[in-house]
Homo-oligomer: A and B are copies of this chain.
């Protein structure tokens, strides 16, 4: 179809080998070509509009120099953290000289996981995969996934097995830090607006919250806990329930910024001032946190760095510089204090 090395070679009166070396420049291997020849070959290639065929190159090199990113759930790519992961992932690919193949799994399509497992993943097209947002996978699919002998790194997943390469967040510590922060601001009764306690991640969060509560001797009461499912309407209801309870809490740790904002709204309804009457902290530090009044404290996720490191880790595995034995990289969320929990500066 296009212009090939051979065609250039014929026109320039040299061998394809010479063309290959000339065009790659910088003396790959130890081949010497006269400056003059190189220049002529370059000119011919330019004239003919030559574009190297990356596919042929990948075939002969035996490595694709390409990595796959699999978004296990199409819905979750609309979460604010996803583009941040993607940014880090893309940057790492660029830095390390890989290209990135993105697959999105659409739950509403029939057998989407099955199709992916057999058509995409089994076809050798990339050197390895980063899997993101795998919060649900059945035993059989997991088995099939592992049976395919290809380097995998999992990011932000529902914990499954120890034998998996994993880039994760220390959720327990994140909630511990958030809760401790409210206590340090003087809160005496701190509530927890969770997402969905049937998820493993939420249980870890609960543990972190409880650890702080106990450490400082605050009341540990099931009436202090409600679920908002990470979404607006149920969080609003949960926030009302928490704020209308007696005795009332004076601090709330929320599972994400959306639910924390609902707490702010209810405080507004009830005439409670934030942070004086109620101190509030969200989770994930999304753009929303800076949009609301008062601005929302939140736990920041180093998503871009996590994405970067996931790729770097995957590349190591691909190059065989790393055993594939369930190494785990853990990141800790960082406390970002804004007005909603800052009693000291804003009184």
A residues in contact (CB < 8 Å) with B? 1-2, 49, 51-59, 62, 64, 66, 69, 71, 74, 77-78, 82-84, 86-87, 90-91, 94, 99-104, 106, 109, 120, 122-125, 147-150, 232, 258, 261, 265, 268, 287-288, 290-293
Q: List 19 contacting pairs A-B, 8 Å CB cutoff, sorted by A.
A: A1-B62, A49-B149, A53-B59, A53-B124, A54-B123, A55-B55, A55-B124, A57-B123, A74-B87, A77-B86, A78-B84, A78-B87, A86-B104, A87-B104, A94-B104, A232-B290, A232-B291, A258-B291, A261-B291
> How far is the CB of A87 from the nearest CB of chain B, in Å?
6
Assembled-state Cα–Cα distance A260/B313 (Å): 42
CB closest residue in chain B, given A268:
B293
Q: Which of B2, B51, B90, B125 contacts A74 (CB 8 A)?
A: B90
Contacts A106-B94, A232-B290, A291-B261; is A59 near B62 (CB within 8 Å)?
no
A120 CA to B97 CA, complexed, in Å = 10
> Which of chain B's residues have a CB closer than 8 A to the CB of A57?
123
Contact A55 B58 (CB under 8 A): yes
Contacts of A103 in B (CB 8 A): 90, 99-100
Across the two chains, which residue of chain B brings its CB closest to A79?
Answer: B83
A83-B82, A100-B101, A102-B100 known; A51-B148 Cβ under 8 A: yes
By beta carbon, the residue of chain B nearest A147 is B49
Collect the chain B residues with CB atoms within 8 Å of residue A290's CB: 232
Chain B residue, CB-CB nearest to A123: B54
Select which of B54, B82, B232 is within 8 A of A124 by beta carbon: B54
C-alpha gap A288/B288 in the complex (Å): 7
Give the Cβ gap from A14 to chain B, nearest Cβ, in Å: 21
Cβ distance A91 to chain B, nearest Cβ, rounded Å = 6
Determine the distance from Cα of A232 to Cα of B295 in the docked complex, in whole angstroms: 12
Q: Is the CB–CB distance between B91 and A104 below 8 Å? A: yes
Contacts of A86 in B (CB 8 A): 77, 102, 104
Give A64's nearest chain B residue, CB to CB.
B55
Q: Given the interface contacts A90-B74, A90-B104, does A125 sit within 8 Å of B83 by beta carbon? A: no
- Is the pair A102, B124 in contact by a Cβ cutoff of 8 Å? no
Give the distance in Å from the alpha carbon of A103 to the alpha carbon of B120 in the complex: 20
CB distance from A73 to the nearest CB of B (A): 11
Known contacts: A100-B102, A104-B94. The answer to whether A123 contacts B59 by CB under 8 A is no
CB distance from A254 to the nearest CB of B (A): 14
- Tell me whether B91 and A55 are in contact (CB under 8 A): no
Instruction: Say yes or no: B125 contacts A99, CB within 8 Å.
Output: yes
Which B-chain residue is minimally distant from A258 (CB atoms)?
B291
- Our pick among B78, B109, B232, B287 for the contact of A83 (Cβ within 8 Å) is B78
Q: Which residue of B lies closest to A264 (CB)?
A: B293
Residues of B within 8 A of A56 (CB): 59
Q: Which residues of B contact A104 (CB under 8 A)?
A: 86-87, 90-91, 94
Closest Cβ of chain B: how far from A319's Cβ, in Å?
13
A59 lies within 8 A of B51 (CB): no
Chain B residues near A124 (CB-CB < 8 A): 2, 51-55
A49 contacts which chain B residues (CB < 8 A)?
Answer: 147, 149
Point out the residues of chain B lying under 8 angstroms from A292, CB to CB.
Answer: 291-292
